[in-house]
Structure 1
Amino acid sequence: MGEAGEIQLQITGIRAQEAEDGHGRRAELGGPGPCRPVASWRRPALSKRRLAWWAVVLVNIVFVLAGQSVATLLGRIYYDQGGQSLWMQTVVQSCGTPLAIPLLLYFRTRPSSSSSSVAASRPPIAKLAAIYAGLGVLLAGDNLMYSYGLLYLPMSTYSIICASQVSFNAVFSYFLNKEKFRALVLNSVVLLTFSAALVGLSHGSDGSDSDIPKGKFPAGFALTLSASALYSLTLSLTQLAFEEVLKSDTLGTVLEVQFWSNTAAACVSVAGLFASGEWRSIAGEMETYRKGEVAYAMTLAWTAVSWQLCTMGLMGLVAAVSSLFTNVISTVGTPLSPVIAVIFLGDRIDGVKLVAMLIAVWGLLSYVYQHYLDDRASAKAKKVVVAEKSDGEH
């Protein structure tokens, strides 16, 4: 969606330039025509729009990488320090939605030149409620399966399985979002999967240092693999909702989707917490937490904040670029987790992890460069079409 908007801006700039050249030629021949400052004013506006789009994409990438890495590490810390509630870990992955309320209210009350057109094309409330509820149920189920995987598997195996979400998303994006696969895109998917696998293989110490329940490996493997597939499906369906139903990728729309889908997921998770009876053990779990009650509360609170920042970045990237690009960025966070662990937890980083990080960067750059080539090709094609129309009119 973001690429389409950028291409449209390029078309506008090309038409403005051609109009400028045409008027300039008529002025030289003595005919009437507007002065050149009009066209020269439009070109800086085009550059500002493009820079603003890239700024939004970069901010969302930072949110995804930082939020995902910190939240995953805090989740592992929660289990290692004595936490056992699967539903509590599921709740904190979506209960940070109130953090988005101030921004949501700001963009709701802020006047916009496109607000009237967006309001005119806004789907019925019942349709929106069904979309948000459906996404919320998928998110809640996905969060629960990831909670099981994080408890039942060492970080090594968990990272390897989570890397499969890129391959799942490649399939879903092809069928649901009509994503075109070029050689560099496939190269990016393979490199990122290989990078995550290297990180997992180098984390051999996680199996002995972490409190992993015995005999739960098959369940953890199946649940984490299912969670990866469901995560990819949710991203593709979210992109489909932006393109086909909401037909808007503004920040206000992104925040609205994030808020209501996560609110639905939080409601489902809280219902599961009470229905399972795990809520009765929360007080005892807090008292027996190895780092103390304050650390218990802070761990859950910062996990909620981290997941909310990650979700905000995910929704922003899905709306601005694509679900496959979003999953590529998410997979880049796998080799980033060891770096966070080195800085904050005193973990050691070895040559294998450094190689994995370089491979991940290579894969990311391959994907970005392919989008750059596609963008240039589209811009040239549009320029030829506009030139032919202009020649036909003359």
Structure 2
Amino acid sequence: MGDAGEIRMQIAGPAMHAGTGGVANNGTSPATAAPPTMSERVQWWAVVLVNIVFLLGGQSVASFLGRIYYDQGGGSLWMATLVQSCGTPLAIPLLLYFRRRPRSTAVTRPPLLKISAIYAGLGVLLAADNLMYSYALLYLSLSTYSLICATQLSFNAVFSYFLNKEKFTALILNSVVLLTFSAALVGVSHGSDRTNSSVPEGKFPLGFALTLTASALFSLILSLMQLTFDKVLKSDTFYDVVEMQFWSNTAAAVVSVAGLFISGEWSSLDGEMDGYKKGKVAYGMTLAWTAISWQLATVGMMGLVAAVSSLFTNVISTVGLPLSPIVAVIFFGDQMDGVKVLAMLIGVWGFLSYIYQHYLDDAKVKKILAE
């Protein structure tokens, strides 16, 4: 986020994100590319806003339903992991539609073996990340889980610096420190994690560690996805986004299904369904809507990574930070004591620091375009 070329590529993105992966259509570099027109900027922001809605809506609903699944009698960790990636068939119509559309530029596709290995690797990482999040949501109240998840922004700032050549500014560093401090507050005050949810006793330290590790891995995955768009695919059209989402999540689903059978949890699913407090239909609907919600969130997440950056994507996913603990208090009876309130306010402060940095960057872009 330092020089004008990088800012233009990230904030004024339409000229660079029209399907060329960081190179303008006329072959010029981002720093010398023609400024985007107003219609291009409006179109780009419209795409970004749609992806933001998908990410925030899907993420919030999926986390909420995930907690309900455990509270109503669900106990299969691999099933909770599987629903985070098994919604990929919903992307097939989009994949077929955008595949038939002509591309605006000729981009050489990487070798099939190379791209397959990348998608498979991302899928394995996603499956591991989803499993850790499943454990974390079982062991922690939703409010605590949400507050700790905000640390993914800190991790992503670090990964983006090393992998995606993002620049550190004072405001971003301030954001990283504040979000880290917010999570630390939650970690040292686990006595406040009382809730009406069915959270196992004595599992807070493990839940905290798993959430922190999962947040770090999630941030790494986002940076690797951005690196794939920039260096391997060299294209970030919507087709590329959906393709990556489809194949990486398919790989994650395969790993999750294997885990479900190898662990033996598949044999207990009938009993779990019979014992679900709200009934079999509610059991199926909870899992189905969780899968759909995660699918929407994943499409939005990858769309933002391609259109802007992995760091910006993590910032947007953190927007729900102030809302989740409040929802958890209302629906799950989580205790919201002074420490959690302080941690939430510090987290919001860290989030706003990063948003203000983007505001400054956008103002700089407008000044560049006006010259």
TM-score range, shorter chain: 0.7 to 0.9
CA distance, structure 1, for counterparts of residue 152 and residue 273 of structure 2:
33
Structure 1 residues 205 and 365, CA, compared in 2 at 3 Å: closer, same or farther? closer
TM-score (norm 1): 0.78
Q: 2:233 aligns with which of 246, 250, 254?
A: 246
Deviations 1:217-241 (A, max 9, x none): 3322222221111111111111111
Deviations 1:109-139 (A, max 9, x none): 122332xx12xx2101001101100100000
2:330 is equivalent to residue 325 of structure 1: no
Work out the percentage of aligned pairs sharing the same amino acid.
70
Q: 2:146 aligns with which of 159, 177, 194?
A: 159
2:62 is equivalent to residue 71 of structure 1: yes
2:290 is equivalent to residue 303 of structure 1: yes
Residue identity matched to 1:175: F
Deviations 1:162-213 (A, max 9, x none): 2221111111111111111222333444555677789999998863311122
CA distance, structure 2, for counterparts of residue 267 and residue 153 of structure 1:
27
2:220 is equivalent to residue 229 of structure 1: no
Structure 1 residues 272 and 2, CA, compared in 2 at 3 Å: closer, same or farther? farther
1:55 aligned residue: 46
Q: Is the 8 A contact 2:85 2:291 kept in 1?
A: yes
1:262 aligned residue: 249
Structure 1 residues 123 and 95, CA, compared in 2 at 3 Å: closer, same or farther? same
Residue identity matched to 1:4: M
2:153 is equivalent to residue 172 of structure 1: no
CA distance, structure 2, for counterparts of residue 203 and residue 73 of structure 1:
21
CA distance, structure 2, for counterparts of residue 351 and residue 220 of structure 1:
19
2:98 aligned residue: 107
1:15 aligned residue: none
Structure 1 residues 63 and 231, CA, compared in 2 at 3 Å: closer, same or farther? same
CA distance, structure 1, for counterparts of residue 368 and residue 197 of structure 2:
55
2:258 aligned residue: 271
Deviations 1:313-372 (A, max 9, x none): 1101111111111111112222222455588x4879989899988876665554344234
Q: 1:46 aligns with which of 31, 37, 56?
A: 37
Residue identity matched to 1:212: V
* Structure 1 residues without counterparts, runs of 5 or longer: 13-41, 385-394
Structure 1 residues 129 and 348, CA, compared in 2 at 3 Å: closer, same or farther? closer
1:4 aligned residue: 9
How far apart are residue 92 of structure 1 and its match?
A: 0.1
Q: 2:267 aligns with which of 280, 304, 312?
A: 280
Structure 1 residues 176 and 7, CA, compared in 2 at 3 Å: closer, same or farther? same
> Residue 104 of structure 2: SS of its match in structure 1?
coil
Q: 1:95 aligns with which of 67, 86, 91?
A: 86
Q: Is the 8 A contact 1:339 1:349 kept in 2?
A: no
* Structure 2 residues without counterparts, runs of 5 or longer: 1-5, 17-23, 25-33
1-10 or 121-130, which deviates more: 1-10
Structure 1 residues 101 and 350, CA, compared in 2 at 3 Å: closer, same or farther? same
Residue identity matched to 1:167: S
CA distance, structure 1, for counterparts of residue 120 and residue 234 of structure 2:
19
2:126 is equivalent to residue 139 of structure 1: yes
216-225 or 123-132, which deviates more: 216-225
CA distance, structure 1, for counterparts of residue 136 and residue 341 of structure 2:
25
CA distance, structure 2, for counterparts of residue 212 and residue 277 of structure 1:
23
Q: Is the 8 A contact 1:96 1:305 kept in 2?
A: yes
Alignment length (residue pairs): 349
Residue identity matched to 1:107: F
Q: Is the 8 A contact 1:2 1:319 kept in 2?
A: no
Residue identity matched to 2:60: S
Q: Is the 8 A contact 1:87 1:269 kept in 2?
A: yes
2:28 aligned residue: none
243-252 or 279-288, which deviates more: 243-252
CA distance, structure 2, for counterparts of residue 365 and residue 177 of structure 1:
22
Deviations 1:28-52 (A, max 9, x none): xxxxxxxxxxxxxx99x81110011
2:169 aligned residue: 182
Higher relative helix content? 1
How far apart are residue 9 of structure 1 and its match?
A: 4.2
2:322 is equivalent to residue 335 of structure 1: yes
> Residue 255 of structure 2: SS of its match in structure 1?
helix
Q: 1:289 aligns with which of 276, 279, 291?
A: 276
> Residue 80 of structure 2: SS of its match in structure 1?
helix
Structure 1 residues 291 and 277, CA, compared in 2 at 3 Å: closer, same or farther? same
243-252 or 177-186, which deviates more: 177-186
